[in-house]
A and B are shown apart, each in its own frame.
Chain A
Amino acid sequence: KQEVTQIPAALSVPEGENLVLNCSFTDSAIYNLQWFRQDPGKGLTSLLLIQSSQREQTSGRLNASLDKSSGRSTLYIAASQPGDSATYLCAVRSRGGADGLTFGKGTHLIIQP
């Protein structure tokens, strides 16, 4: 059964810092990995999708990497801003089992002005 772990559970940094969020998964048989942000009281916003054949994806100040063989992904946020404060979720689409995403518990990020 696929399990997704995110470290750290919470992170608070001053504005302007570069930071890395970590995600690990137990079964490397995946189709893709998706990073989301979740704001309080709102749904999920998709940030980046990495296919299993890809090593990284970039969108603006965000860069996500994938090492499928070791079951790891990182989300790099450059020049953090207070508006980046949110919970960041990692989810994988596994090759077996139900046709949906398996999520981690998330990293709660606070960017101090």
Chain B
Amino acid sequence: EADIYQTPRYLVIGTGKKITLECSQTMGHDKMYWYQQDPGMELHLIHYSYGVNSTEKGDLSSESTVSRIRTEHFPLTLESARPSHTSQYLCASAPSGRHNEQFFGPGTRLTVL
């Protein structure tokens, strides 16, 4: 079944640790996105990709980095986690084109102590 997967779903980690949030999709989509949602706030775009070897920064500045080595995989990395990184991170994908619907994964809730 075509879907978007995110792991882990929940992560509690100490300050200074390096973390990677995984996102993979079997939708066959070229475009992928990362959004950040702080509690009670709206989602903000932090990274997106048009395809393999393409990465762009979104509207909200983020200390995280992303890579796109395979079409179906779009991991997000924090080199040194801080309490200010505590948030929910949502991955999405969409077919190529400007008029297409975005589909979201279940999200990763990150807590940095």
Contacts and interface: CB of A to CB of B under 8 A. Distances in A.
Interface in B70-102: 90, 92, 98-99, 101-102
15 contacts: A43-B4, A43-B104, A43-B105, A45-B104, A46-B104, A97-B59, A98-B57, A98-B59, A99-B98, A100-B48, A100-B58, A101-B43, A102-B59, A105-B41, A105-B42
Nearest to A100: B45
B99 A31 contact: yes
Given A99-B48, A104-B42, A105-B41, A43 B90 contact: yes
Interface of A: 4, 31-32, 34, 36, 41-46, 49, 51, 89, 91, 93, 97-106
Contact of A31 (B40, B92, B98, B109): B98
Interface in B59-74: 59
Q: Chain B at the A interface: mostly helix, strand, loop or mixed? A: strand
Contact of B35 (A46, A49, A99, A100): A100
Nearest to B45: A100
* Max chain B C-beta neighbours (<10 A), residue from A36, A43, A51, A106: A43
A42 B48 contact: no
Contacts of B33: 100-101
A106 to B, nearest CB: 7
B32 to A, nearest CB: 10
Interface of B: 4, 6, 31, 33, 35, 40-45, 48, 50, 56-59, 90, 92, 98-99, 101-107, 109
A41 B108 CA distance: 9
Contacts of B40: 105
